[in-house]
């Protein structure tokens, strides 16, 4: 809060940090007001999901998902889930917010040659682990900045691209609100991935951690989750060499 008062952080950035650490939070109160209401998608969810599921046996083997585990990284099945959507929707630019140790960025750099991605990865802190993780990846730009300030100028410069946005920071409903605002503002965004979207289970409800998922499901978008039973049954084996601890309900 002192950083916010001194002008070093935006209020929304501070709220994101608070929401990511304090549970439970009143499920009826949105930080800084509710997100925009998007027009209901005209796409048929069942048809799109069927196309996605059918494409996975072709797309997954073309992905190089055998990477060393980095702290707090998304896991291989989650990376494959997002990259398969990247391929299916013709995304040619990935914009990532919340790089952390660089695990997810390293996965984007391993996308197959048919996905000629340009990758922009934003994080407030530069970490040597993230630079090492993407060493040799010519198409990635590591940006040290506050995502709340850096995302809009960057997305303005990508108006001619089909953008896949991946938000791993901020967390919680702040992440949902930010994503919805950006989708409403930038038609170039055709795909959004959010990390740490927990199942609507009694365990996560008791900790207030289900509210991100509830907010996302109410957002008026077509939503798909990597912890849906059909996906876990077929592709959880991608994570067999990783120590996931209690991270079995990430979306």
Average pLDDT over residues 4-16: 48
Mapped onto helix, strand or coil, the DSSP state of residue 71 is: coil
**pLDDT over threshold 80, residue 39:** no
Residue keyed to tokens 């990597």: 226
Which tokens hold the place of 96?
């990532």
Furthest-apart CA atoms within the chain: distance in Å: 52
Q: Which of 48-62, 119-133, 203-217, 229-243 has the lowest mean pLDDT?
A: 203-217
- Of 31-45, 54-68, 186-200, 218-232, the least confident: 31-45
Our measurement of the distance from residue 215's CA atom to the centroid of its chain's CA atoms, rounded to an integer in Å, reads 15
3-state secondary structure of 169: coil
Work out the number of other CB atoms within 10 angstroms of the CB of residue 125. Answer: 8
Contact criterion met (CB below 8 Å) for 86 and 94: yes
Mind listing the pLDDT tens digit for each residue in 123-156?
Answer: 988 778 888 888 888 899 999 999 999 999 999 9
Bridge partner list, 121: 96, 142
Q: Is the pLDDT of residue 82 over 90?
A: yes
Strands (E), the chain: 93-97, 118-123, 140-144, 163-167, 189-194
Cis peptide before 24 (omega within 30 of 0): yes
CB atoms within 10 A of CB 68: 10
Mean pLDDT over the full length of the chain: 80
Helix axes of 147-156 and 172-185: crossing angle, nearest 10 degrees? 20
Residue 202: asked if its preceding bond is cis (omega within 30°), the reply is: no
* Residue in the block written with tokens 């109160």: 29
Angle at 121 between CA 61 and CA 193, to 5 degrees: 55
Compute the chain's Rg from CA coordinates: 17
Residue 41 has pLDDT above 80, yes or no: no
Q: Which two tokens stand for residue 16?
A: 């994101």
Q: pTM of the predicted model, to two decimals?
A: 0.82
Rounded to an integer, what distance in angstroms lies between the CA atom of residue 238 and that of residue 119? 23
């Amino acid at each position: 809060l002192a950083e916010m008062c001194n002008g070093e952080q935006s209020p929304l950035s501070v709220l994101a940090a608070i929401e990511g650490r304090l549970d439970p939070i009143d499920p009826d109160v949105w930080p800084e007001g509710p997100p925009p209401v998007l027009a209901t998608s005209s796409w048929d969810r069942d048809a799109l999901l069927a196309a996605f599921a059918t494409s996975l046996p072709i797309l997954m083997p073309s992905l190089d998902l055998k990477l060393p585990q980095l702290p707090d990284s998304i896991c291989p099945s989650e990376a494959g889930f997002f990259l398969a959507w990247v391929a299916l929707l013709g995304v040619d630019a990935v914009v990532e917010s919340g790089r952390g140790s660089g695990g997810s960025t390293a996965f984007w750099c391993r996308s197959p040659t048919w996905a000629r991605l340009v990758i922009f990865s934003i994080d407030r802190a530069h970490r040597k682990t993230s630079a090492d993780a993407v060493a040799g990846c010519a198409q990635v730009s590591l940006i040290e900045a506050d995502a709340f300030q850096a995302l809009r100028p960057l997305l303005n410069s990508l108006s001619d691209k089909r953008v896949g946005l991946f938000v791993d920071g901020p967390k919680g409903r702040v992440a949902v609100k930010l994503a919805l605002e950006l989708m409403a503002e930038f038609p170039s965004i055709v795909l959004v991935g959010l990390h740490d979207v927990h199942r609507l289970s009694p365990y996560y409800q008791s900790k207030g951690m289900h509210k991100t998922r509830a907010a996302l499901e109410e957002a008026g978008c077509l939503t798909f989750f990597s912890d849906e039973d059909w996906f876990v049954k077929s592709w959880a084996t991608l994570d067999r060499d990783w120590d996931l601890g209690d991270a079995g309900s990430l979306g």
